[in-house]
Structure 1
Amino acid sequence: MDAVRTLLESQPLLTLFLTVAVGYVIGECSIKGVALGSGAVLFVGLAIGGFAPRSAPPALLGTLGLLLFLYGIGVQYGAQFFAGLSSTDGLKANAAAVLGVLGSGFVSLALGPLFGVKLDQALGLFAGAGTSTASLQAVLAVLKGEGAAVGYSVAYPFGVAGPILFLYLLSVALARRIDTPPAHLIETAEIALRNQAFVGLTFPELKARLPASLGIVAVRRAHHNQLPDDDLVMQTDDVLLATAMDRDELRKAAELLGELQPGRMMRSREDLDYLRVFASSRVVVGRPLGDIRFPDGMVCTIAHVRRGDADMLPTPGLILEFGDRVGLLIGSGQRDAVRRLFGDSIKGTAELSYISIGVGAALGLLAGLIPLPIPGVGKLSLGLAALLLVALYLGKMRRLGSLVWTMPLSANLVLRNFGLTVFLAQVGLSSGPKFFATIGLTGAAFLLYGAAILIALVCITAACCLWIFRLPFDATVGVISGATGNPAILAFANRIAPTDRPDVGYAMIFPSMTIVKILFVEIAAVIVGR
């Protein structure tokens, strides 16, 4: 064993990646649907760090990992975050989550005068109960001790498994059963124009009289398909190729305009062809569809956009992202030109701009150095919380000139999950010796403290959502998932509430609560630690 210990302590990078590998093997083990995921890396790091006390790599490596995680979160959820701040339901959801986070934070601070828990340990318990690695890093940076990592590692299992159990019990107690909604797939129909009230109108006038969610992507006249333009005047027996997310909406449109026709337009490829391409060119990525200009002579219109596993109607405000699959109606013989315009490279789904990442991260780090005066506290720098704020704003902007701030979803997931894993491994390895020394003295007490902090977090958040702000149940589980933070909780929330509201709630809440948790521990460390 001495030889193994010597090897681990002499090769910190080897130890780091061994920790990552073993941690993920353990993290994939599921007990009744609950798994620790990447959080298991922290516990493996603690075990190896306790066995080989000098095996930890430099702390800067962990900070870099956390930077990648926060930057990826920010650029992905920036649009949803700012939309949540401007909507009534979003403000209610954020208010409920803030009250829950602050309530759990004050419970953690009360552990000091009540039970003699040290401040760094109490704030570590708070960070672990909320599965907030960014808060842990903030405590470590301000208080310079290892007690925060100890508290974090003890409370983290409650932070993952506790909310899942709470959501299950909440759904049973409220007897809420939400059926799985139909898949977000675009439906098409060919409608013959027979209603004389619409004959003689120009195409824009026709569109103005139809629901905004109904698209008309092509017109068939005299046995020829064509793309509609502003000068097109509607005639009797024109056949309209209509698209919508709901089959009933197409049926109602057919009753309004005329009648459904058999699928002649889709079978005819003489005038218009259908092509699906990957969006990978910076000419189109990061731009609203309404701003995309096709070259002169190119006959092309966007019929639908598929992102991930969902179809989306091509509204003028929809912004294309790397890896989107775009369905197009194009003129005959223009396939190559259209592919060049959109890029059509599957490699684009994994590529990212290192210039954008470098500039964005540098701006965030510079913003984190600016001291902000806080009444009663003094001057306080936001650190990595400022990086997250900058990344959120860049994610909302999407692009600035030729710089595309967003990343393909697949590349974003890889980058931020790798960063989080490296951070957890480094913190675990460096805190292992202190962890075992402390847990031997405190016994089960820290476990109870972590449970109390978590109960305050989920109960206050749920009560505010359901009974004060009257949010729907599926939105509530998304808010609770965002307030607690771990993606495993969101995955379970999607099982008991299989709508899109849990994902939207998580996207609105997780970034803002990450910032609230960071600010809380930094301010508490300054005020209480005096």
Structure 2
Amino acid sequence: MDAVRALLETQPLFTLLLTVALGYVVGEINIKGVALGSGAVLFVGLAIGGFAPKAAPPALVGTLGLLLFLYGIGIQYGAQFFEGLTSVRGLKANAAAAVGVIGAGMASLALVPLFGLRIDESLGIFAGTGTSTATLQAVIAAMKGDGAAVGYSVAYPFGVAGPILLLYALSALLKAKIEAPAAKTIETAEISLRNPEIVGLTLAQLKARLPVGLAIAAVRREHHNQLPTDDLVLRTDDVLLATSTEPALLREAAGLLGELQPGRMSSHREDLDYVRLFASSRAVVGLALRDIRFPDGITGSIVQVRRGDADMLPNPELILEVGDRVGLLVNRAHTKTMRKLFGDSIKGTAELSFISIGIGAALGLLAGMIPLPIPGVGKLTLGLAALLLVALYLGKIRRSGPLVWTMPLSANLVLRNLGLTIFLAQVGISSGPKFFSTIAITGASLLLYSLLIVLVLVLVTALACLWIFRMPFDVAAGVICGATGNPAILAFANRVAPTEKPDIGYAMIFPSMTVTKILFVEIVMVLAGG
């Protein structure tokens, strides 16, 4: 065993990768439908760190991993974050999380008079159960001594494991069976116009009558297919190509307009042909569809955008991202020109703009260094929470001149998962020695206190989400993840609620709750004379 320990301690990179591999092996173990997934990397890291105390890789490795994860989350969900923040739903989510965080903070302060803990130890437990390094740093900066670090090191594993287990318990208790939503695909219907109430209307007037989610992509008249224009006056026997991601809407359109006549348009492609291209060129990526200009002399129409595994009905506000597959109606003679415009390179969709990533991440880190004056409290810095805020903003604007901030979805997922795994492995290995040594000294008392604070944080947040604000379970899971803070909890939430809502909730809540946690301890220390 000494030889194994020496190997682990002299080869930190080997130890890191071994932790990742063993963590995923453990994470795949399924017990009655629950598996820890990437969260198991942390627990394997704790065990390896306890066995080989000097094996921890440099802290910068873990920080880089967390940076990649947070930056990827921000870039992908920026638009949803700002939309949610200004909506009633977003305000409710932040209010629910704030109730849980402040409740946990008050419970941690109650440990001081009830059980004789020092205030720095209780605030360290609060920081650890909320897995907030920035909060710990704020306590250490104001209160010299190791009490906060001890409380944090004991509470941190509970801050990760506790919410994971409680989320599983809540999903079982509420019998929340959330299936991954089926990927939407665009369906088409060729409808011959027979309704006399529609004949004589312009296409613009017809569009005003159609249900939301239905579009007219092309019109066939006098044996020729043509693109629809708003001033086109409809005639009897015009064939309209209707598109939608909802088959029921196509049936509704057929009943409104006339009768289905499949093949009338698709079998005649001499005027308009359908071509699907990858968006990989800077000429179109990062632009709204309304701003994309086709070359002179070419008329065409974007009728489909497929992102990831889902189709989206085009609208003028939709912004193209690298890797989107765009369906066009255009004369086949112009296909080559359109391929050049859009790029149509699979290789290009996998390439990252490291200039954009470097600038964006550097701006986020710089913002995190800026001390923010808080009246009556002092100055605080947001650290990596500021990086997430910057990434969310860049994800919202998508593009600044030649700089495209977004990245291909596949590349984003790879970077995020890689960063998360590295972060968990490094933190686990480095926390292992202190975790086990603290337990040996203090016994079970600090463990029980940490468990109590985790219960307050998760259960109060869940109560506010599910019973006060009546949120769906997948939304509530995202809010709980943002309130508790650790990305391993989010990874588990994506297993029990496989929709995009946990990710959006995390991105919406995490920055504001990081600030809330820091402000809480700063105010407590000012009031306590710290």
So what's the TM-score if we normalise by structure 2?
0.88
The 2-side partners of 1:205 and 1:333 are apart by 32
Whether 1:332 aligns to 2:332 is yes
Match of 2:6 in 1: 6
Whether 1:156 aligns to 2:160 is yes
The 2-side partners of 1:86 and 1:79 are apart by 11
Match of 2:244 in 1: 244
The 2-side partners of 1:15 and 1:502 are apart by 31
Match of 2:133 in 1: 136
Match of 1:30 in 2: 30
Query: Is the 2:350–2:408 Cα contact (8 Å) retained in structure 1?
Result: yes
Q: Which amino acid aligns with 1:192?
A: S
Query: Is the 2:382–2:515 Cα contact (8 Å) retained in structure 1?
Result: no
Match of 2:170 in 1: 166
Summarize the Cα distance change of 1:487–1:472 in structure 2 as closer, same or farther, 3 Å threshold.
Answer: closer
Summarize the Cα distance change of 1:384–1:13 in structure 2 as closer, same or farther, 3 Å threshold.
Answer: same
1:326 Cα deviation (Å)? 1.8
1:219 Cα deviation (Å)? 0.6
The 2-side partners of 1:527 and 1:296 are apart by 69
The 2-side partners of 1:478 and 1:139 are apart by 23
Match of 1:487 in 2: 490
1:422 Cα deviation (Å)? 2.2
The 1-side partners of 2:154 and 2:68 are apart by 24
325-334 or 396-405, which deviates more: 325-334
Summarize the Cα distance change of 1:59–1:466 in structure 2 as closer, same or farther, 3 Å threshold.
Answer: closer
The 2-side partners of 1:417 and 1:204 are apart by 46
Deviation string for 1:136-170 (max 9, x for gaps)? 3552576285422332124422121112212321x
Summarize the Cα distance change of 1:31–1:113 in structure 2 as closer, same or farther, 3 Å threshold.
Answer: farther
Where 1:265 maps in the other structure, the secondary structure is coil
Q: Which amino acid aligns with 2:386?
A: A
Q: Which amino acid aligns with 2:270?
A: E
The 2-side partners of 1:149 and 1:82 are apart by 34
Query: Is the 1:119–1:529 Cα contact (8 Å) retained in structure 2?
Result: no
The 1-side partners of 2:419 and 2:432 are apart by 20
Summarize the Cα distance change of 1:380–1:13 in structure 2 as closer, same or farther, 3 Å threshold.
Answer: same
Match of 1:81 in 2: 81
1:523 Cα deviation (Å)? 6.0
Q: Which amino acid aligns with 1:284?
A: V
Query: Is the 2:109–2:119 Cα contact (8 Å) retained in structure 1?
Result: yes
Where 1:333 maps in the other structure, the secondary structure is helix
Match of 1:410 in 2: 410
Equivalent runs, 1:380-419 vs 2, <5 Å: 380-419=380-419
The 2-side partners of 1:179 and 1:363 are apart by 38
The 1-side partners of 2:39 and 2:178 are apart by 30
1:95 Cα deviation (Å)? 1.2
Query: Is the 1:350–1:410 Cα contact (8 Å) retained in structure 2?
Result: yes
Match of 2:185 in 1: 185
Summarize the Cα distance change of 1:140–1:61 in structure 2 as closer, same or farther, 3 Å threshold.
Answer: farther
Match of 2:96 in 1: 96
The 2-side partners of 1:118 and 1:347 are apart by 58
Equivalent runs, 1:302-313 vs 2, <5 Å: 302-313=302-313
Summarize the Cα distance change of 1:431–1:525 in structure 2 as closer, same or farther, 3 Å threshold.
Answer: farther
Deviation string for 1:257-300 (max 9, x for gaps)? 22222332123222221122222222222221122111122232
Query: Is the 2:178–2:496 Cα contact (8 Å) retained in structure 1?
Result: no
Match of 1:64 in 2: 64
1:81 Cα deviation (Å)? 0.9
Q: Tell me the matched-pair count.
A: 520
The 1-side partners of 2:418 and 2:84 are apart by 28
The 2-side partners of 1:422 and 1:178 are apart by 29
The 2-side partners of 1:14 and 1:4 are apart by 12
Whether 1:218 aligns to 2:218 is yes
Task: Give the share of equivalent positions with the same residue, in percent.
Answer: 68
Equivalent runs, 1:181-330 vs 2, <5 Å: 183-330=183-330
1:121 Cα deviation (Å)? 5.7
1:420 Cα deviation (Å)? 2.4
Query: Is the 1:120–1:139 Cα contact (8 Å) retained in structure 2?
Result: no
Summarize the Cα distance change of 1:523–1:303 in structure 2 as closer, same or farther, 3 Å threshold.
Answer: farther
212-221 or 42-51, which deviates more: 42-51
The 2-side partners of 1:515 and 1:306 are apart by 37
Summarize the Cα distance change of 1:504–1:325 in structure 2 as closer, same or farther, 3 Å threshold.
Answer: same
Where 1:191 maps in the other structure, the secondary structure is strand
The 1-side partners of 2:217 and 2:126 are apart by 53
The 2-side partners of 1:3 and 1:432 are apart by 19
1:123 Cα deviation (Å)? 5.0
The 2-side partners of 1:260 and 1:212 are apart by 20
The 1-side partners of 2:482 and 2:326 are apart by 31
Q: Which amino acid aligns with 1:136?
A: T
1:237 Cα deviation (Å)? 1.0
Summarize the Cα distance change of 1:121–1:260 in structure 2 as closer, same or farther, 3 Å threshold.
Answer: farther
324-333 or 351-360, which deviates more: 324-333
Query: Is the 1:219–1:238 Cα contact (8 Å) retained in structure 2?
Result: yes
Equivalent runs, 1:15-26 vs 2, <5 Å: 15-26=15-26
Query: Is the 2:479–2:509 Cα contact (8 Å) retained in structure 1?
Result: yes
Where 2:333 maps in the other structure, the secondary structure is coil
1:445 Cα deviation (Å)? 3.5
Contiguous gaps of at least 5 residues in structure 1: none
1:182 Cα deviation (Å)? 6.0
Summarize the Cα distance change of 1:22–1:60 in structure 2 as closer, same or farther, 3 Å threshold.
Answer: same
CA-atom RMSD in angstroms: 2.9
Query: Is the 1:139–1:525 Cα contact (8 Å) retained in structure 2?
Result: no
Equivalent runs, 1:355-504 vs 2, <5 Å: 355-472=355-472, 475-484=475-484, 486-494=489-497, 504=504
Summarize the Cα distance change of 1:67–1:400 in structure 2 as closer, same or farther, 3 Å threshold.
Answer: same
